[in-house]
Amino acid sequence: MIIDVHGHYTTAPAALGRWRDAQTAALVDPAQAPDPAGPRIGDDEIRESIETNQLRQMDERGIDLTVFSPRASFMAHHIGDFETSSAWARVCNDLCHRVAALFPERFAPGAMLPQSPGVDPATVIPELERAVNDLGAVAVNVNPDPSGGHWTAPPLTDRSWYPVWEKLVELDVPAMVHVSTSCNPAFHTTGSHYLNADTTAFMQLLQGNLFADFPDLRLVIPHGGGGVPYHWGRFRGLAQALGKPEPEEALLGNVLFDTCVYHQPGIDLLLEVIPHEAVLFASEMIGAVRGVDPRTGHHFDDTRRYVENAGLPDEALRAVEERNARRVYPRLDALLTAQGR
Amino acid sequence: MIIDVHGHYTTAPAALGRWRDAQTAALVDPAQAPDPAGPRIGDDEIRESIETNQLRQMDERGIDLTVFSPRASFMAHHIGDFETSSAWARVCNDLCHRVAALFPERFAPGAMLPQSPGVDPATVIPELERAVNDLGAVAVNVNPDPSGGHWTAPPLTDRSWYPVWEKLVELDVPAMVHVSTSCNPAFHTTGSHYLNADTTAFMQLLQGNLFADFPDLRLVIPHGGGGVPYHWGRFRGLAQALGKPEPEEALLGNVLFDTCVYHQPGIDLLLEVIPHEAVLFASEMIGAVRGVDPRTGHHFDDTRRYVENAGLPDEALRAVEERNARRVYPRLDALLTAQGR
């Protein structure tokens, strides 16, 4: 089967956006506060928003299941404070849970966390536990820059993050390191901020020694690892200069890259440079790049085509498309196993 | 001949660092201010610092000439104010000029600019003119983030940058878009900040329309274009979504990528994806990655090996290694022509 570890609910019914607008407006005018119970969205609306979008394209592309988390650019942790993010994360995580409940064989829920700039990362733990234990989330997204492009948070190797890593290990859930929208005019959200964050996170991990303290922690770097595989020689050379082991040894047991790279040469490089055990199939569909490539007649983000055209041996292809995900996301594996898959 | 468009004077005699330390100390204690005329460094010291380092490796690798600018990570525009940067740029640019004067067939000077966070970019123009007209600089480095990792400057397409672009066009000199050291703990200087800046700058240019206003401006994005060529499909798709032409058409007449990518698969991808007319040979030697790759027995930054192993047709190889540089850096071409090369 084909597992896509990186999908977001980018097509949620408009009531979700209105709820968020009201919540944002209430930061200035409390009278505008939305219903704390969340937006009213019927199951039919959810079904339609999925069937006409992600599910349709998953069927066209032969993707069996997607790990489905709240829209990344809408996490916008920089808005308001911890309470703002907390209420917003609950609403968004509930919705992804409902999608998975409506399509249990096609979506497994991922969750966002109620991060807020300058707030102790440990404060996300109650929502993290709720998402995993109550909502069935098989993965969470951790934002290394809740400020939205001002990069005021300490590196992921800082001790302040440790309670989050401890809880992830305890729950046996991987985290995808994924920023949200940029509110810094220097950075385009999906064109530079996302890729920069991926590169930044990897280098933080290379500089540090996090996996000595958390040997069971798994972190997924999305968007093909940002600039990392293309510059693999640079990272190997920097590791050497820092007196670290080869990054393969030091990091790739715990760090994985997804395949959200939207052309054949990029996927070819990723699969040539990074051991197949550390690559997870993903497309981030429907996401940043929605168009059809006029040169191929296919969607830019139809990454399955690139992955299957990369000439991998069958075993490696199966690892990238299914087996690695089942290993790295044990709660997803348990869910699939319970379904007899 | 082989032209390397990206070298920095990373091996300058220690007196330069002591001068900068005194200048920095004087920000707090004016009594420590160094000699405004700059550090005293003899020609023999400069010769030795070059002959035992860059020149030795250029000879080993068959590089004929390097465009040689002040050490990028030491530009540190975030230190002090405009006067600080102005004095420091003068000192550093004078030294690169002296290197080129001592080895006129091996080095052509590049220059740094006296940028300072929050200061109008137009203030760099007097030093830019001095560097080109008096010191013979054939290129300059422009820092898109003088804050050193806080990214407080407006995008390169902002009107405030226009006087700099006008002057570059008037002088017929290209700029390399190159950040300096990161003072943000989130970013490792050469592991993430440099690559992020390259990606960021390219996306700013893709979003904007700068070359409609400056059709003769040439901007070089170093380090193989950061994450851009690896994600070329993403950038093509984002251009399409923004209603822009293909990036090849819209940008690659004015934007060039260098070959500072430190492994064969990265160079192969760069040369497969980016038209050869938009690629400039470079190594940034001696720079961020100085070690020998234990897998090949060669320096990671010996990029000539990768470029020559990439299987380019002869004409394309000559374009990347020489002809493009002579086209994009006309003052370098004039200098070489005057030397009968």
Mean pLDDT, range A273-288, rounded to an integer? 97
* Residue A16 φ/ψ, nearest 5 degrees: -65, -45
Check residue B134 and give its pLDDT. Answer: 98
Q: Would strands A3-9 and B175-177 be described as parallel, antiparallel, or unpaired?
A: unpaired
Cis preceding linkage at B286, omega within 30 = yes
Q: Judge contact between A66 and A7, C-beta under 8 A.
A: yes
Residue in B with minimal Cα distance to A193: B200
Query: How does residue A257 score in pLDDT terms, banded at 50, 70 and 90?
Result: very high
What average pLDDT is seen over chain B? 98
E-strand spans in chain B?
Answer: 3-9, 65-70, 107-111, 139-142, 175-177, 219-221, 255-258, 279-280
Mean pLDDT, range A45-51, rounded to an integer? 98
Cα–Cα distance between A269 and A265 in angstroms, integer? 6
Secondary element (H or E) of residue B213: helix B210-213
Of A154, A184, A238, the CB nearest to B151: A184
Q: Judge contact between A219 and A175, C-beta under 8 A.
A: yes
Percentage of chain A beyond pLDDT 90 is: 100
Q: State in Å, rounded, how far the first CA of chain B is from the last one.
A: 8
Q: Is the ipTM of this complex over 0.90?
A: yes
Mean pLDDT, range A141-155, rounded to an integer? 98
Check residue A63 and give its pLDDT. Answer: 98
| Amino acid at residue number B49 | S
Pick the closest to residue B46 from B103, B109, B130 (CA basis): B103
Is A187 within 8 Å of B151 when comparing Cβ atoms? Answer: yes
B298 touching A (Cβ < 8 Å): no
Mean pLDDT, range A313-339, rounded to an integer? 98
Distance to chain A for B329, nearest Cα, Å: 26
Q: Judge contact between A4 and A63, C-beta under 8 A.
A: yes
Cα–Cα distance between A260 and A285 in angstroms, integer? 9
Is B233 within 8 Å of A203 when comparing Cβ atoms? Answer: no
pLDDT (tens digit per residue) in B53-93: 999 999 999 999 999 999 999 999 999 999 999 999 999 99
Cα–Cα distance between A74 and A94 in angstroms, integer? 15
Q: Which residues of B touch A233 (CB under 8 A)?
A: 261-263, 266, 289, 293, 300
Q: What's the residue count for chain B?
A: 341
pLDDT (tens digit per residue) in A6-34: 999 999 999 999 999 999 999 999 999 99
In whole angstroms, how far apart are CA A297 and each of A278, A291, B230, B231?
30, 10, 20, 18
Cα–Cα distance between B18 and B20 in angstroms, integer? 5
Mean pLDDT, range A130-144, rounded to an integer? 98
Query: How does residue B14 score in pLDDT terms, banded at 50, 70 and 90?
Result: very high
| Amino acid at residue number B94 | D
Check residue A116 and give its pLDDT. Answer: 98
E-strand spans in B79-138?
Answer: 107-111
Query: How does residue B218 score in pLDDT terms, banded at 50, 70 and 90?
Result: very high
Among the residues of chain B, which ranges form H helices? 14-25, 43-51, 54-61, 72-75, 82-102, 125-129, 162-171, 194-207, 210-213, 232-241, 247-251, 264-273, 303-308, 314-318, 324-328, 330-338
For the record, the structure tokens of B198 come out as 């390259």
Distance to chain B for A90, nearest Cα, Å: 28
Check residue A195 and give its pLDDT. Answer: 98
Check residue B36 and give its pLDDT. Answer: 95
Respond yes or no: is residue A284 known to be catalytic: yes
Q: Judge contact between A65 and A282, C-beta under 8 A.
A: no
Give exposure, A114-150, as e/b (b: 16+ Cβ within 10 Å).
Answer: bbbbebebebbbebbebbbeebbbbbbbbbbbbbbbb
What average pLDDT is seen over chain A? 98
pLDDT (tens digit per residue) in B107-164: 999 999 999 999 999 999 999 999 999 999 999 999 999 999 999 999 999 999 999 9
Q: Is the dihedral of CA A233, A239, A243, A248 positive or negative?
A: negative
For the record, the structure tokens of A280 come out as 């997870």
Mean pLDDT, range B274-287, rounded to an integer? 98
Of A154, A191, A273, the CB nearest to B265: A273
Residues of B (150-209) whose Cβ lies below 8 Å from A = 150-151, 153-155, 184-188, 190-192, 195-196, 199-200, 202-204, 206-207
Mean pLDDT, range B225-238, rounded to an integer? 98
Q: What global pTM score does this model have?
A: 0.98
pLDDT (tens digit per residue) in A189-227: 999 999 999 999 999 999 999 999 999 999 999 999 999
B11 burial type by CB count under 10 A (0-12 exposed, 13-18 middle, 19+ buried) = middle
Please pick, among A249, A272, A284, A308, the residue that the annotation labels catalytic: A284
Secondary element (H or E) of residue B314: helix B314-318
Check residue A282 and give its pLDDT. Answer: 98
Mean pLDDT, range B244-273, rounded to an integer? 98
